[in-house]
Structure 1
Amino acid sequence: MSTSGTTPSAPEGWREDNQAMWDERVPVHVGGEFYDLDGFRARPDVLRDFEKDEVGDVTGKTLLHLQCHIGTDTLSWAHRGAARVVGLDFSVPAVEAARSLAADLGHGPERAAFVTGDVYDAARLVPEPSYDIVYTGLGALCWLPDIRRWARTAASLVAPGGFLYLAEFHPITDALDDATGSRVVRDYFARDAQVWEEPGTYADQNAATVHNRSVQWQHTLGDVVSALAGAGLRIEFLHEHDVSLFPRFENFEVQGDYHRFPAGHPRIPLIYSLRATKG
């Protein structure tokens, strides 16, 4: 049986460890090639094709980006016509970097605002009570122990007639072997916190870092969908994609802007996306 509905464990100090880890990595991300902020300033749009298609035209709309990091995705939505974007992140250096990047692009706080704070406290921290679009990008949910609390918070910020859009790495990938993605080697339904000690960062694996302890959680697809439905949103669609943004498995090949299994390898979902509406 699954463990759906249970509250995962959260080891003492998890929030402080995660924040210290992310704070330290912001300068690496700002100055490195992975985010290529000079290139972003020249062409401020890093959104994935399926996100653009599934979110649709944002012209004249308000958008809230939860767990925005340094704001590149947030500001991409502004570039695509959103009337006002707001980003929230718990890392002070990340928010400072996002504000600086917005200023470089000529966006004042009335067009692009960034707020520091815990995502669970977003409803009392962001400047408006609701938004046409609440957006959460890839690699965000694994940092949150309580997916139902997150869903209630996110849903409360969606304006009537608006929607939440989520794109996230598919949880099935965490159950498979790292070499080929062909064998189940981990418990898909595991709810215990996963504690990691890893130097460097996905943006620069060789970066010298000190704060290397992080705590993460796995949330099944069923848990995420059920949490959003339980928070009063109507699931409009759930799509699964056979591409990834990084070499999740050792046998991946680069194909265009994405990483994929080699030709002939059985495919599995690597990313999922969903849209959930209110009212």
Structure 2
Amino acid sequence: MDYLETNRANWNARVPIHVSSAFYDVEDFTASGRSVLRPFEVAEVGDVSGRRLAHLQCHFGLDTLSWARLGAEVTGLDFSPAAIDQARRIAAGCGIRARFVTADVYDAAEALGETYDVVYTGIGALVWLPDLTRWAETVAALLKPGGFLYLAEFHPFADILDDETGTKVTHDYFARGPQVWEEPYTYTGGELAEHRTSVQFQHGLGEVVSAVAAAGLRVEFVHEHDRTLFRRFATLADDGTGYRLPDGAPKIPLMYSLRAAAPAT
């Protein structure tokens, strides 16, 4: 199976469903001027005013445009032409100047042809990539001297637990082979009429950190977070800042964030 073309078809099919969903609420995003970034991301990245930021695997660009609303000069890249078409449309509707490019993430350095102060990749991105070494090398090639990668992701520890309670180990943390999924619904709740197959790849936290370090980037921090963006397990409760286990229950890592800098010279 060609994982890239399979996943591209799957994501092209998701785009119209996602754009029209209440989950993304593109109409309100356009009209209200709001940001969809998580507060911890904004705090950990810091002031982006006047800085050039590339968002890899940007989907249709709401995170990308949120960084622009904070003052960054943004470029978004995604392998789905349907997503990039929508990103350009939404940017125009918001009156935001942004560049969006269609390309596979592994071709980003050549496709973008420039370097950046910040390379950002958002939540749920790495599972679509089979080779993190190549990904990290691509990130390093995109960074200016002294620039940095910022990654926010779902924690791989949560993927070993049972879906219902999140208390029993039922999956292999070290499983790395491609996983083929046949799913009729997207995470927004919409039903896919076609192209329901996707291919995903699990990556442990050590694999991510090692790939980033091997690419010559200096890891500044890895922060683990005890909350996530959706009810990953039925036992999670919404406390207003995300979904986490109730007070009194032992906490587990549900998300993590990483920042790593390129050499200054």
Question: In which range does the TM-score fall when normalised by the shorter chain?
Answer: over 0.9
Give the SS at the match of 2:144: strand
Out of 255, 261, 264, the position equivalent to 2:248 is: 264
Matches within 5 A, 1:164-203: 164-203=149-188
Deviation at 1:13, TM superposition (A): 1.8
The aligned residue for residue 8 of structure 1 is: none
Check whether the contact 2:236–2:246 (CA below 8 A) recurs between aligned residues: yes
Identical positions, percent: 59
Deviation at 1:127, TM superposition (A): 4.2
Matched, 1:210 2:207: no
Out of 95, 99, 103, the position equivalent to 1:117 is: 103
Check whether the contact 2:14–2:192 (CA below 8 A) recurs between aligned residues: no
The aligned residue for residue 258 of structure 2 is: 274
Matched, 1:24 2:10: no
Deviation at 1:264, TM superposition (A): 2.3
Give the SS at the match of 1:185: coil
Check whether the contact 2:161–2:167 (CA below 8 A) recurs between aligned residues: yes
Deviation at 1:254, TM superposition (A): 1.6
C-alpha distance in 2, partners of 1:122/1:145?
Answer: 16
Deviation digits for residues 24-61 of structure 1 (CA, Å, limit 9, x no counterpart) = 01001111100001111112311000000000000010
Give the SS at the match of 1:133: strand
Check whether the contact 1:17–1:215 (CA below 8 A) recurs between aligned residues: yes
Out of 111, 123, 138, the position equivalent to 1:138 is: 123
Deviation digits for residues 158-190 of structure 1 (CA, Å, limit 9, x no counterpart) = 110110000000001111111111111111011
Question: Which segments of 5 or more consecutive residues in structure 1 lack a partner in the other structure?
Answer: 1-11
Deviation at 1:250, TM superposition (A): 1.7
Would you say how many aligned residue pairs link Structure 1 and Structure 2?
262
Give the SS at the match of 1:256: coil
Give the SS at the match of 1:35: coil
Matches within 5 A, 1:1-279: 12-41=1-30, 42-82=32-72, 84-107=73-96, 111-128=97-114, 130-204=115-189, 206-279=190-263
Q: Compute the RMSD of aligned alpha carbons.
A: 1.0
